[in-house]
Amino acid sequence: MPFVNIRILKGHSKQRKDEISRRVTETIAEVAQLPKEAVWVVFEDVEAEDWYVGGDSVADIKAKRS
């Protein structure tokens, strides 16, 4: 049973997560030749202050762009 853990910045809508989950599930089910019900997808929402890119938090990167 495939388990997909997606870490994503907090703030994405349920509709967006539904679409991501649908596409990930369909792709894995097709490639692995499994029923969709065998694919589990879990989202972990991460605060921008806790996500770092190149040593800077995403919150700081966004603030610099504003």
Catalytic residue numbers, as ranges: 2
At which residue do the structure tokens 């065998």 appear? 38
The two three-digit tokens of residue 24, written as one number: 């990930």
Distance CA(8)–CA(64), nearest Å, equals 21
Is residue 63 within 8 A of residue 49, CB to CB? The reply is: no
